């Protein structure tokens, strides 16, 4: 069994007792909002109804992971900042290989951190499964296609946040993105494909830009080819927003070369970027603290966000 498949198996509770609910719902006091007013563009059937599954026997950082599968109707959940509102907002893209969404490990827990720092958090439940979910297959060449349905959802969400900026007390010029693993690829896609119109405008919100003002890619995948070159589907230019990268050198799911190649492209284009590499940490640790130094990465991210004027003490 391939490493990525084994990791995914743990997340979706392939073995042992597990808890299952019909569909994921945010905690009380929060409501999901539809990303699209009707049927999403390019809608395709999914294998079954949406489910949220967790396996108490498969722990990451001392806790189980809730995996959402079969998302056909994308939603966003807005979490208001606690304490002083900095005016910044971040859209969160959970990972899961474009097959599932690690909705708590790389979603709600990221929002818990961000709102505690005065940042409005918008959690995107994007469509899965979605290409390129066969990225880790043994075939050659690897699939380098855009993850079009997921990217459509991501672009639309960024535009919606901008269009609601006044209502949500957000600065429309300080809206960023953070993503983990496959979500890190969505970070790169939104950072480089914002001039590409992937769907016909559906309302006034689509007049807003989908370019993030800053980006954080945490153990991202799909950014480098087998030859060690930049994935041509993430064409970095000088218009790519300032970017924070973090990865562990023993990440055997999405290797450290993903961050190295993307960072080199950012540097070549003159894009402000900061990269942190750790010897240990593996893949899919989220924000859960362990004895490994890499799991304290949020402190580095906060320092970087301050350095670019996104959050202020």
Contact 199, 127 (CB under 8 A): no
**What is the band of 162 on the pLDDT scale with cuts at 50, 70, 90?**
very high
Residue 5 has pLDDT above 50, yes or no: no
User: Residue 231 phi/psi, 5° resolution?
Assistant: -55, 120
- Which residue bears the tokens 């957000």? 170
Cα Rg of the chain (Å, integer): 18
Q: What is the dihedral of CA 96, 100, 104, 108, to 10 degrees?
A: 90
Contact 162, 198 (CB under 8 A): no
Contact 153, 60 (CB under 8 A): no
Q: What pLDDT is attached to residue 132?
A: 55
For the chain, the structural domain boundaries read 3-307
Q: Record the pTM.
A: 0.92
pLDDT digits 0-9 by tens, 62-107: 899 999 999 999 999 999 999 899 999 999 999 999 999 999 999 9
**What is the band of 18 on the pLDDT scale with cuts at 50, 70, 90?**
low
Exposure of 266 in the CB half-sphere (CA atoms within 13 A): 24
User: Looking at per-residue confidence, does 117 or 20 come out higher?
Assistant: 117
> Pick from 166, 126, 120, 129: which is nearest to 47 by CA?
129
206 vs 41, 42, 161, 311, CA distance in Å? 13, 17, 11, 27
Q: Which CATH number among 3.40.50.2000, 3.90.550.10, 1.10.10.10, 3.40.50.1820 corresponds to the domain 3-307?
A: 3.40.50.1820
221 vs 64, 180, 181, 195, 264, CA distance in Å? 23, 8, 5, 22, 15
Residue 16 has pLDDT above 90, yes or no: no
**What is the band of 135 on the pLDDT scale with cuts at 50, 70, 90?**
very low
């Amino acid at each position: 069994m391939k490493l990525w498949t084994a990791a995914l198996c743990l997340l979706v509770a392939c073995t042992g007792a597990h808890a299952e609910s019909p569909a994921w719902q945010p905690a009380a006091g929060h409501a999901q909002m539809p990303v699209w007013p009707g049927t999403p563009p390019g809608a395709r059937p999914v294998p079954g109804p949406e489910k949220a599954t967790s396996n108490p026997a498969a722990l990451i950082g001392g806790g189980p992971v809730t995996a959402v599968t079969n998302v056909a109707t994308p939603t966003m959940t807005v979490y208001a900042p606690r304490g002083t509102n900095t005016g910044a907002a971040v859209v969160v893209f959970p990972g899961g290989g474009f097959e599932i969404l690690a909705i708590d490990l790389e979603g709600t827990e990221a929002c818990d951190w961000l709102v505690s720092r005065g940042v409005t958090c918008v959690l995107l439940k994007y469509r899965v499964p979605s290409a390129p979910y066969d990225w880790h297959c043994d075939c050659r060449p690897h699939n380098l296609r855009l993850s079009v349905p997921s990217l459509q959802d991501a672009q639309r969400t960024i535009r919606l946040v901008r269009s609601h900026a006044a209502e949500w007390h957000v600065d429309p010029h300080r809206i960023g993105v953070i993503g983990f693993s496959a979500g890190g690829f969505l970070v790169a896609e939104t950072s480089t494909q914002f001039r590409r119109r992937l769907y016909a405008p559906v309302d006034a919100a689509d007049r807003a830009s989908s370019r993030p003002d800053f980006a954080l890619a945490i153990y991202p995948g799909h950014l480098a080819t087998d030859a060690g070159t930049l994935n041509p589907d993430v064409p970095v230019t000088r218009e790519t927003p300032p970017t924070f990268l973090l990865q562990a050198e023993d990440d055997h799911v999405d290797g450290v070369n993903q961050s190295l190649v993307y960072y080199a492209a950012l540097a070549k284009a003159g894009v402000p970027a900061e990269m942190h590499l750790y010897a240990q940490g593996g893949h899919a640790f989220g924000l859960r603290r362990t004895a490994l130094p890499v799991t304290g990465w949020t402190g580095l991210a906060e320092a970087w966000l301050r350095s670019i004027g996104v959050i202020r003490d």
